[in-house]
Structure 1
Amino acid sequence: MRLKALFIFIFLSNLCYAQNDKIDSLKTFSYKELKNKFYNYYENIKTDQSKIIAQYYLQKAKKEQNTLQIADGYVLIHFNENLSNALKYLDSTATVTKNLKGTKYPSQTYLMKGNLYYKHDNLKKALDNYILGLQYAKDQKDQKQTAYANMDIAYLNSYIGKNADAAKTFRYYLYNGNDITDESQHNQMRISLIYCYIELNKLDSANILIKEGLKTPLAFTNKYVHHQYIYYVGAYNLKLKKYDIAAKNFLAAYKYFSGVQDQNMNYSLLNIGKSYEGLKDKTKAVENYTKLDSIISKSGYTFPELRDVYTFLIDHYKENNDKEKQLYYIERFLKVDHKLDEQFKYLSTEIPRKYDTPNLLQEKENIIGELKMRKKILYLSISILFLVLIFITYLYYKTKKTEQQHRKIAQDLIISIEKRDPEPAKIDNVVLISQVQIPKQIDIENKNQKTISEDVAQFILKELTTFETKELYLKKGITLASLAKSIKTNTTYLSEIINTYKGKNFAAYLNDLRIDFALNRLVKDKKFRSYKLSVIAEELGYNNEQAFSLAFKKKTGTTLSMYIKEIDSLNDSQNNPN
C-alpha cells in the first residue's frame, strides 16, 4: 500500500528540473545540464528520451576520459534496464570508481543496488546494500549519502509496519533537509509521511499534508506526483469510510499508474477492492482482487496486504462452493505466505492469520479429492472439443486448398492474357470469324428442313464480327431475339450459326464474350479493378453482381476477388523486384 518514491534519495544534490523537453544538440550541454534533462525525462516517464541522454552522457565521458562522469553515465543508463543488466552497469560503476577517493562512491553504488533489489521485491538484499552504503557514507563523512541511506532504510521500516520509526525519519528530512533534498525528494518525504500518518490513524495531519502537496508546483506539472496525491486522497477517504469517494480516487490513480506500468497500480487495485468491500459490492471487490492476483502472479511482486486479498477470495469462493477457484487461491496464498515469511520475518508475526497453514494444506487435499470426479467430465469435454477442433482444422485446410487452386487458375489466366498475341485469338471455345473457314453451304435441320445459303451465313458471321469488335455484347438486356432483329435475320438462323461456328449456345456465347472482356480489361486497367463489384457487373451488361460472379466462377474456375488480388500481387512484384 505504500507508494515508494519514483526516485530513491541517492541523487546528486544539484539535481533540478530542466524546463525544455526538446532534445537539442546535446554537445552544447554540460554534464550537470545533461543530468537535469535526464531526470526530467525519466521522472515524466519519457523513457526513450532519457535513454538517449544517458547514452550520450556515457559516450561524452568516455571520450573525455572523465572517470567520475563515466561512473555517473553508468548510473544513468541503469535506470532504464532490467535487473540483470542494471546490476551489470552498477558493477561497471564500482569497477571504474574503485580507486577514487573522496567521492560519493562506493556509497552511491550500494544504495543504487539496494534500490534495484527493493524494486524487484528482494528486501533482504536491499537491506544488505543499504547498510553497506550507510557504512561507507559514514566512513567518508558524506552527509548527503548518509541521509539517502537513512531515508531508504526508513522505507523498509515503513514497509514492515514500523511506521512510527519511519515517520520520524521522513518528518526530519521534510523539515530539515533543505541542504540535502531537492524539490522532488522534499515532495517525496511529504508523501511518505502522509502514508505513515494514515497508517498511524493521524488523519488530520495526513489531510494537511495532502492539501499542501496538491498545491505545490510539482503536483501541477508532474502527472506522476499528482496521481500519488490522488491516491492518498483515496486512502484518507477509505480510512473515513467514505467508500464511494475513495473508490473514485483509487480508480483515477490506477488508470494512470497502469498506463505507465508502475507498481503503484497494484496498491491502487488493492484499495479499489477494499473500497468495494466497504460498499458491500463483493462482485467488484472480487473483480479487482482477481485482477491484482493476475498481475502479481506474473511479476512475483508481493506485499503484506496480499494475505487479506487471498483470504477474502478463498472465503468468497468457499461460500459459492467453487472448489477449483478456492483451491487456486489457497495455493496462491501459500506461495505468497512462504515468500512473506522468507522476506518479512518481522512482518509475518504482525499480520492476522485468518488461516492456519497446516489447515489450509489439509483443505487443499480435500478439495483435490472432490475434484477427481470433475476431471472425468473435463476429460470427456476435452475429447469432444478435440474432435470439433479436428473437424474445424479439416474445413480450414480444405478451404486453403480451394484457395490455392483458385490462385493457380487466376495466375495462369493472367499469364495467358499477358502472353496473348495481339491478333484475335481463341478463347476457350470462342472462335473469331477471321479464323473460321465458312463452308459453301450449311444444312440446317429444322422442322422445315430448310438450308442456310452461303451468302446468309457469311452475312450473319460478318454481323457477329461487328457485334464482337464493337463490344456491343456489353449492353444490358441483349437476347437472341434482340440480336437477330438488330442484324436483320431470324432467331433460327442466328442460333444455328452461333452453335455451328462458335460451338455453343447463345447464352454461353454472350457470357464468354463478357467474361473474356473482363479478364483482359482487369489486367490492363487498374482503375477498372478498383471499381465495386456491382459497377463492374453493370459495365459488362449484367443485371446484378450475383449473376456476374456466378458466370465468372463458372467460366474461369476461380473467383473475381482472387483474380484481382493476383493481378495486384503480380504488379507489386514487378514494381518492387527486391
Structure 2
Amino acid sequence: MRILLLLILLTSGLHTFSQDLSIENLKKMEDESLLTLFSEVEYDSIKAEKVANVYLNRAKQQNDTIKIARGYDRLARIYHSEKNIKYADSIIELTKELEHITYPGLGYIQKASNYHVLGDLIKSAENFLIAYKFSLSSNNIPNQVFVLNFLIIQKSIWGNKREALNLQKKRHELLTNKDFTKYLIQSSRKGYQDKIHSLSINMKIESYLNFSNCYYQLNKIDSSFYYLNRAKALNNSSQGQYFNFYSFWIEEVKIELYLKERNYHKVIRISDSIYPIMVLKNEKSAMFNILMHKGLALEGLAKIKEAKKFYYKADSIYENNNIDIFPNQRIMFEKLLALSKNSSEQIEYLNKLINIDSIHKINYQYFEPEFNRKFSRPRLLKEKEAVILDLQEKTQRSRIILWVCLGILSCTIAALLYYFKRQLIYKKRFNALNINKEQKALSSLQNETSLGISKTIETQIVKRLEEFEEENEFLASKINLNELSKRFGTNSNYLSKVINLKKKKNFSQYVNDLRADYALEELRKNKMFRKYTIKAIARECGFNTAESFNKAFYKRCGIYPSYYIKQLKKEM
C-alpha cells in the first residue's frame, strides 16, 4: 500500500475544502479546479468517479489527448487493482506514440503500482522498468526518482544488498541536485506547482528511509539508525500533511532495529504504542509485523508462553489476509514449528514454510538469480515427510483394535475391493506405459538423413543434449533455442537440425516433452510432489503457467496432470 501512497504523493495532493458535487456544478468548474477537487475526494470512490468522469468527458469533447490521459489516470486510482490496471492500459494505448514528459510512462507506473498491490512482484517490477526507460528518454527526473524507490526496496530485500545501496546513492544524487525543483515544475501540471516544495520534502524523507532500509539489510545498524533519525528530524520540522504516515513508518522501522540490538524492552514499548493505531487503520501487514516483533522480543526475554500468544495472533492475520511475508519475517513460522506440540501443528507450519519459500524462490529468481542456486526446500520437505510418516505410524497403532473389531468379513470385502481397484489401475497404466515406450522408442530412432553438418559437430551436439537431459537443465523456465545453442558452443541452426532429425520434434516440443516426463516421474515417485498445486508443479518443471503445463502434459501423456494425481492418490 505504501507504493500506491507514494504514487499519490507524486501526482496529487489532499485538501480540506468542501464542494457541491452535483453534475451541474462540476461542469461549471475549470479543468484545474476539477483535478484539485478530485484530490480532495480521491479516497471516496463514488465522488472521485463523478469528478473524474466530468473531466474525462470534457477532454474527449475537446479531443485533447493529454487531458484524456489525465482522466484515465484519475480513474486508474479509485477502483480495485484489476480495474485500475485496465485504465492504466488505456493511458498507455492512448499515448504510446507521443513524445511527452509524463506519458505513457505514468501509465506504466500506475500499472506497476497496482500489480504490487495484487502481490505480483515480478509484473510490478517489469512495468516499473518500462516506466524507468520512458523517464530516461523523456528526461523526467522526478519519475526516475520515484521508480528507483521501488527498485531499491525490492533489490534490498530480494537481491544484492550492496547494489541496492549504490542505486540509492544514485537516487539521492538526483534528488539533491540543485535543479531538481526545476525538474519537478517541468514534469507537473500548472495546478500542482504550488505543492512542489512539500513534494520535494516528502521525497527526501523517503530517501533517508531508503538509506535506513539498505543499511538494515546490510546489518549496519548504526548507519541505519543515523538515516532513520534524519528522516524523523525532517518529518518533524516540515510537519507536512503526511506527517502521521511517516511517523508510524519510522516507529515500525525502530522496532526492527531495536530487535537487532536486542533492546527487547524498547521493542515491546513501541509495539504497544503503535499497534492500536494500526488496528484502527486496518493496516494488516503492519499489524502482523508489530505482533511478530513483539513475540520475538518476549522470547528474547525468555517469556516463551507470552511470545507464543503473539506469534499465534500474527499467524491468524497471515491466514485470514492476503499479506506478503518478507525474508526477515519467515523466522516466526520457524519459531511456531519449533514450538509445535503435535504432528498436526508441525505439518501445518511446515506447509506454510514451504508455501512461503516457493514464493520467495520466485522473487529471488527474478531479482537475484545467483542466490537461487543456494535457495532450496529439500530440508523442509524431508522434515514434513518425516512428520507425516510419524503421524501415520501413530494413527496406525491407535486403530489396530478397531480393525480387529471389524471382523474377517469387512477385511475380506475391503481386500477384494482394493485388489480389483488396483488391478484396473495397473491394467490402464500398463497399457499407457507400453504406448509411451513405443513412442519413446520411435522418437529415439536416429534418422540417417544428412544433416548438412560435420559428423564431429553432430556428435558433440548429441552428447550435450544427453547431458542437458541428464542434468535436468530443461527445468529452467527461460530456456530457448538461441540461449541453449550458445551454451553448447554451436549455432541455433545446427542445434535445431539435430533435434528435429534425432528427436523427431521441434525444439519447443522437445523441451516440453522432457518437462512433462519429469513431472510424470516426480509425481509417480515423490509423494510430497503430489501435494503441490498444479501451478506450483508447473513452476517446478519450468513452465511459466499452469495452462501451458496442462497442455504439454496432456499432449505427451494423453491425460491431464490433475487426473493423473487423482489416480495416484487412489492407488495409495
Which is worse superposed, 58-67 or 77-86? 58-67
Whole-angstrom CA distance in 1 between matches of 2:33 and 2:298: 47
Evaluate the alpha carbon distance shift between residue 16 and residue 118 of structure 1 in structure 2; reply closer, same or farther with a 3 A threshold: closer
Higher relative contact order (CA 8 A, sep 6+): 1
Judged with a 3 Å threshold, the aligned counterparts in structure 2 of structure 1 residues 328 and 81 are, in CA distance, closer, same or farther, namely same
User: Aligned to 2:297, which of 251, 269, 275?
Assistant: 275
Task: State the shift of 1:207 in Å.
Answer: 4.6
Asked if 1:305 is matched to 2:328, the reply is yes
Q: 2:263 aligned with 1:265, yes or no? A: no
Distance of aligned partners of 1:206 and 1:99 in 2 relative to their CA distance in 1, 3 Å threshold: closer
The answer (yes or no) to whether the contact 1:234–1:248 under 8 Å persists in 2 is no
Could you tell me the TM-score, scaled by structure 1's length?
0.56
Q: Which moved more, 1:304-313 or 1:25-34?
A: 25-34
**Aligned counterpart, 1:465:** none
Q: 2:110 aligns to what? A: 112
Within 2, Cα distance between the matches of 1:142 and 1:174? 12
Q: Write the distance in 2 (CA, Å) between the matches of 1:166 and 1:264.
A: 26
How far apart, in 2, do the equivalents of 1:214 and 1:351 lie?
Answer: 40
Output the CA distance in 2 between the equivalents of 1:333 and 1:326: 11
Q: CA deviation at 1:299?
A: 0.8
SS at match of 2:296: helix
Matched, 1:192 2:213: no
CA distance in 1, matches of 2:47, 2:246: 20
How far apart are 1:129 and its partner, in Å? 1.2
Cα 1:374–1:38 change in 2 (3 A) is farther
Structure 1 match to 2:385: 362
Cα deviation, 1:402-452, whole Å, max 9, x if unaligned, reads xxxxxxxxxxxxxxxxxxxxxxxxxxxxxxxxxxxxxxxxxxxxxxxxxxx
CA contact (8 A) 1:37 1:53 kept: yes
The unaligned stretches of length 5 or more in structure 2 are: 185-198, 403-572
Structure 1 distance, partners of 2:271, 2:200, is: 28
Secondary structure of the 2:327 match is: coil
Match of 2:264 in 1: 243
Give the residue type in structure 2 aligned to 1:307: R
Distance change (3 Å), C-alpha of 1:360 and 1:285: same
**Letter matched to residue 313 of structure 1:** L
How far apart, CA to CA, are the structure 2 residues paired with 1:108 and 1:269?
Answer: 36
- How is 1:336-375 mapped onto 2 (pairs within 5 angstroms)? 336-345=356-365, 346=368, 356-369=379-392, 372=395
Partner of 2:18 in structure 1? 22
Change (3 A) 1:140 1:210: closer
In 2: Cα distance, 1:60 partner to 1:290 partner: 54
Partner SS, residue 266 of structure 1: helix
Q: Decide which of 83, 92, 95 is 1:97's aligned counterpart.
A: 95
- Does structure 2 retain, via aligned residues, the 8 Å contact 1:58–1:74? yes
Note if contact 2:81-2:117 (Cα within 8 Å) is conserved in structure 1.
no
For residue 176 of structure 2, give the secondary structure of its aligned residue in structure 1.
Answer: helix
SS of the equivalent of 2:149 reads helix
User: Is 1:295 aligned to 2:281, yes or no?
Assistant: no
Amino acid at match of 2:102: K
Q: For residues 89 and 398 of structure 2, what CA distance do their matches in structure 1 show?
A: 51
- Separation in 2, partners of 1:34, 1:146: 27
Q: CA offset at residue 39 of structure 1?
A: 4.3
Give the conservation status (yes or no) of the 8 Å contact 2:149–2:210.
Answer: no
Paired with 1:306 and 1:134, the residues of 2 have a C-alpha distance of 30
* Kept after mapping to 2: 8 A contact 1:71/1:97: yes
Q: 1:34 offset after TM fit, Å?
A: 4.1
Question: 1:314–1:326: 8 Å Cα contact kept in structure 2?
Answer: yes
C-alpha separation between the residues in 1 aligned to 2:16 and 2:298?
42
d(CA) in 2 for partners of 1:50, 1:251:
36
Q: For 1:299, what is the secondary structure of its paired residue?
A: coil
Residues 359 and 141 of structure 1: CA distance in aligned 2, closer, same or farther (over 3 Å): same
- 2 CA distance for matches of 1:38 and 1:376? 67
Deviation at 1:286, TM superposition (A): 2.6
Find the partner of 2:64 among 62, 66, 77.
66
Residues of 2 paired with 1:135 and 1:258: CA distance?
A: 39
Q: Relative to structure 2, which stretch is displaced further, 277-286 or 353-362?
A: 353-362
The one-letter code sitting in structure 1 at the alignment partner of 2:322 is S
Q: Is the 8 A contact 2:85 2:110 kept in 1?
A: no
SS in 1 for 2:78: coil
CA spacing shift, 1:325–1:135, aligned 2, 3 Å: same
Cross-structure match for 2:149: 151
Cα–Cα, structure 1 residues 92 and 219, in superposed 2: closer, same or farther, change >3 Å? same
- CA RMSD in angstroms comes to 3.6
Deviation, 1:375, is 9.3
> 2:295–2:307: 8 Å Cα contact kept in structure 1?
yes
**Aligned ranges 1:278-427 → 2 under 5 Å:** 278-297=300-319, 298-299=321-322, 301-317=324-340, 321-345=341-365, 346=368, 356-369=379-392, 372=395
Q: How big is the shift at 1:257? A: 3.2
Counterpart-to-counterpart distance in 2, 1:310 and 1:359: 17
Q: Per-residue displacement from partner, 1:171-228 (whole Å, max 9, x unpaired)? A: 3355335444534333322332332333432144135324414413446764323311
- What is the Cα deviation at residue 133 of structure 1? 1.5
Give 2:172's aligned residue.
171
The CA distance in 2 between the partners of 1:351 and 1:24, in whole Å, is: 60
TM (normalized to structure 2)?
0.56
> In the alignment, what sits opposite 2:437?
none
Quote the Cα distance in structure 1 between the aligned partners of 2:231 and 2:305. Answer: 31
Residue in 2 aligned with 1:228? 249
SS in 2 for 1:277: helix
Question: Is the CA contact 1:237–1:245 (under 8 Å) kept in the aligned structure 2?
Answer: yes
Q: Which amino acid aligns with 1:357?
A: L
Q: Partners of 2:243 and 2:169 in 1: how far apart?
A: 27
How far has the Cα of 1:364 moved from its partner? 3.7
Structure 1: distance between partners of 2:246 and 2:29: 27
1:339, CA displacement in angstroms? Answer: 1.3
**In 1, distance between residues paired with 2:29 and 2:269?**
43
Q: Cα distance 1:203–1:146, how it changes in 2: closer, same or farther (>3 A)?
A: closer
Task: Name the aligned partner's letter for residue 274 of structure 1.
Answer: L
Q: Tell me, in whole angstroms, the C-alpha distance in 2 between the residues paired with 1:46 and 1:227.
A: 23
Q: CA 1:278/1:228 → structure 2, altered by over 3 Å: closer, same or farther?
A: same
Identify the residue that residue 136 of structure 2 maps to in structure 1: 138
- The 3 A distance-change label for structure 1 pair 260 and 354 is same
Structure 2 vs 1, CA of residues 160 and 21 (structure 1 numbering), >3 Å: closer, same or farther? farther
- In the TM superposition, residue 330 of structure 1 has moved relative to its aligned partner by 0.6
1:490 alignment counterpart: none
Return closer, same or farther for 1:186/1:242 CA change in 2, 3 Å cut-off: same
Distance 1:98 1:248, change over 3 A: same
Secondary structure (helix, strand or coil) at the match of 1:215 reads helix
Structure whose residues are more often helix by fraction: 2
Tell me the distance in 2 between the aligned counterparts of 1:36 and 1:196: 36
**What is the one-letter code of the residue matched to 2:249?**
Q
Structure having the higher Rg = 1
What pairs up with 1:529-544 in 2 under 5 angstroms?
none
Q: Are 1:125 and 2:123 matched, yes or no?
A: yes
1:215 equivalent in alignment to 2:233 = no
CA contact (8 A) 1:237 1:243 kept: yes
* Match in the other structure for 1:555: none
1:331 CA drift (Å): 0.6
The structural deviation recorded for 1:30 is 4.3
What is the identity, as a one-letter code, of the residue corresponding to 1:308? I
Q: Is 1:182 the equivalent of 2:183? A: no
Distance 1:89 1:221 in 2: 27
Counterpart of 1:514 in structure 2 is none
Measure, in 1, the Cα distance between the counterparts of 2:216 and 2:175: 17
Given that residues 10 and 112 in structure 1 are in contact (C-alpha distance below 8 angstroms), is that contact kept between their aligned partners in structure 2?
A: no
